[in-house]
Amino acid sequence: MIDIHSHILPNVDDGSKSFEITFNMLEIAKKDGIDIIYATPHYITGFYENIFEEVSEKVDELNSLLCEKGIDIKILPGQEIFIDNYT
């Protein structure tokens, strides 16, 4: 199963507050049958301006840690983009 909307990245806008919380969330997701999760931090001009390249780097870091911990779930980069006149 694929989760296309999550705030799983630690310390990014209103997402998880720590790697420990993220790992707990991912273990629960895996038990629920989720194999792939898109990390979708917000992009809201002037408020949450999470640059996609930085999101991708954080996803790569998280995937490396998951591999080290033996948590078999794949995180992919995405964004929840607020569309307005400036986007």
List, for residues 40-51, the tens digit of each pLDDT value. Answer: 999 988 888 889
What does 43-55 look like in DSSP terms, one character per residue? Answer: EETTTEE--HHHH
Domain ranges of the chain: 2-81
Contact (CB, 8 A) for 26 and 42: no
pLDDT in tens, 4-38: 999 999 999 888 999 999 999 999 999 999 999 99
From residue 34, give the alpha-carbon distance in Å to each of 13, 19, 30, 72. Answer: 23, 19, 5, 10
Residue whose tokens read 């999550």: 6
Q: Output the pTM of the full model.
A: 0.89
